[in-house]
Structure 1
């Protein structure tokens, strides 16, 4: 890498002369539209595009194109994100609009009246608008203005009168609306539609349409945010889709400063670039993110790695970190190759647990993995390879050779990751449980990788360092997992792509398998002393299910040290964990209630579960929470959580007639999530009436599309 090479900024471009992606022509046409075709009674133009797609760059280009023309146009830039969380956006907007107008005879009255309008509006309860349904906002705003005696309406009419007589147009450019919180987003559109809907003023807005729609629906209490937005935006424009060759050129140019020091296998590079990298590069920001990380890693380990492998690995780290972390933590799945005498009797690894579901994404990730790792290619194609001199891979510094593999991760400390010294510090106190638990609790408050906490990140790294942990430390880690496990699961967002509870269960099995002691006693003690009834129930159910499947051909999960007798010994510890949480009023707050409650009923041999449910559901709020916690959840497209419910799960605890009578009487406006939960129940009942199984997630995902 050249010594003077610098990282690229993802700041928006200022001048059309810097255009690399064909935005200049789009900006030129838009500028001409604003100048020649927008009506004089006011107009609103929206530029839609995802974050990083170049919206701010296009706004700068449009401004430059307008300046080139000899026209009477005043451009006012307003970025509401600068004022987020501060004073009322209405006041800030009107103040900045007035301050941006020139102090000439045509503008003086307008400037003064904008200042007066800002002051007059500050006396009105404008913040109350955010509690009004969005499709009523316009009428509410006008009503408040009309009711205010004299001053506000008169000032606004004077501004409108002066603007109609203005020679020229005012173009108000507003960027970063999609960075506002929902309340501020709603207020910003209230300003545009109801407060500052002035003649001879054209609004040019840039935002991610889906983000804004979500905010409007959340804050404005409307069903169709897209329809509402269409009523405000009179000319919706989508950012031109970048041509793949333009992004390719931009990416290759960004690598020129570092590629000279690397000898590149052109055949492998071509496959990586066109089948793996380019499908991942959707925006200029994606290009900058990847090229910058390659630049940094090349500067630190470039002389010790293969360039193609480095770029491919960094692409996975930036865009598919779950795949990257799996490669990093389980090298045995990737390094080496599948020889004719190697695991011939075992089915090949198909990597279904880490490959994306979306076909195009799956193909791109798979292409990178097969380019980097012959073993992945062998497994996916169910073939065996023969390398006469495998150590050539080591000489070529390829990541697929186990001796070279660690080099690629030596200095990688991405945001949310734990540095090697941090992990070492925790391992050094592993034999002192109190100190260990305190340190892990602190990590629960810090964001980690893949939407998890640093505590979760640490436990994902633990298997890599198993040889460094003394037996007492392993026992303490098992204990800590059952103390903090439910908190770690709860800290994950609903759409997290890593199954936290499954990972912790497998980690416990790994730790116990490393010890030469009574495994079941260790597990019983950790469960009964811990505060994780959900994790404990999940473990028990897993072992019970595995025991039932033990004779099946596909069975391969249950640890060798778990027998039917030992599972029976484990049940009282799990029941104790559940009942303790119930007694401490913490059971309803665990990640999911159905499994622990079912275990409590099945193996507890008391009336306590029903009594607990009766106490919880005595209030309407408790009933809503109970139904929600008894619901299941599935993830669609690796991101969208979908709740589902089978009424039978509720009828085991509440009679149907009683339940439905209670639901009909609930004040849905007073109880959080009441509408959503009641609708979920009614949908489930309707499925049953239509002969569908509500416990089948496909019926909730696809609905009427299923036969």
Structure 2
């Protein structure tokens, strides 16, 4: 290791390095820092430790050039009566890098008799050790000169040892330091701690005829420095990290205690931070004005040239992508990355911010490459560093939107208003091109928009194409993937990508395995709200179907259609309700069939053949799916729908009827239909398809036995809600299949027979349901 590179204190010329006099903590820090830099422990894959640069090889922003221009001026400043120079810049702007490159340039210039002393107040501890560190470095230089002069002195005992005068001065002026006699044992290994005075030389003491004061010592030191052909340049970094009391001590040191001729100080700090610290530490009204009294010359770290920071970020982000993925980004990814960095990166001000953003990207993306969209992981880390309140808002908003999309929760108007107000406060600009505008979010969060009313700025509708693209690319706004961007793991209330892909693979090649998997999802506990099966049904809107091949659509349509009966038979879905799972399933299956109909006519025909002939959910198929198609085609009701809203063609509707009626005529099937979930839907669907006679005949046969009669009445209850949920039994529903008066008379006879047990309880429920279902005129 070259002496020039070895530490915080270096001498140029014949003078020996005095770095060994620095305190142990500082030396340990230097050692670890140098090892890190010299070993080159750095890669795009590893987080950047944010250490200041030691050489110009990785200098992206021109600090080395500035150091070359600045170094001669600093050397010149050491030739006068003393000067304090401030290198100013905000945290992260590169001040420490500038100091390192300045030190290297100063050493390269090889100025005779210039001694460079670097001290780190943030690491040195209290004020006394700071004074001691500086003075001891200067004293070592004077020791060398004193030793050279003493060789030619005739009276060596009378020779003045100015190195010891400096040490004495340090002992007297270092606040909180031990008495001189005790300090002697610390600074001079040969001196005892029993009260021996430092050997200053009789000539010095004779000059005063008394014990010298602090002022006497300082004047003697100043006179000596003026007479010598030596100069000192003291580099002090990280002043803006100090506590107020420590900042005051540094200012005291450079302006009063060690204000010597031929000594120039270079202090590095954030002006606003250091001024505030002085204001508190000195209890003055204006710390900035006080700082002006101390610093005679300032140099501000220049801002990087326009786009330099964003270009640096883009270049290194692409390198991270290539290292992790083994390939360059696609043209679409590159364009989206450019847009993300150009917009969200407008707020970048310092190289440190670039490092922090890149560290966030490295840390997350290495393990999440398969779960996130790279431009969005760059976006969210830019927002995290440059606008932390917006980052927190996004995390909260996307978590709420996730449960809204999955149908597990509702967002009330007050909450929408609060979220909207927060967003408008965070992004108040009306200029769509500004990063302070809500429109800046809409490119990657499509559910937000600029609006007059706060509640209308959030949870707005998204197009089918937006939904599909967001989900396919695993973008930040995807309800399946958003949480990876914030928590490195996916939401617990959605299927993982692996689970989803497994299900789709079964749909394409193993229908039995798919059905078994779906039945498992019916019964598998889910952390929030609905079952996993309901979640799956909800997710399969038209945009989701568009992501699948014809074979995959066929498998999902047949799988969901076959097992929906198992879902309808669970306790929570045994009774019909508005917008229940049966209706949701038919809506989504119809979307799948619409997509399949235009994608592959042959697979569509095969799918319909399996539906009409094989599905176990026959009651749902007739009462929900087929009945809706009859309505859309105008076969029943008076509201036919446009052709593009229909899942089936007229020919397909006609072809289904005989196949379904043949199944209904089978005795075994007719017996199984007694346990059909949501029986009214099935019976009215059957009636709409085949007329009244067949279902009335089936009901008559079914209700011959009293137990079945009671069961039938319970099954025919409908659903309503006001202050609570009711299950009324209406005359209008029963009268299609049974005579109402005879039905009530039969109930009377059963009650008169003084039946007990479950049937008595069921009849009591029916009586209550009849009362709840009464209509005017009943």
**TM-score, structure 1 length as denominator?**
0.50
> Computing the radius of gyration over CA atoms, which structure comes out larger, 1 or 2?
2
> TM-score, normalised on structure 2?
0.45
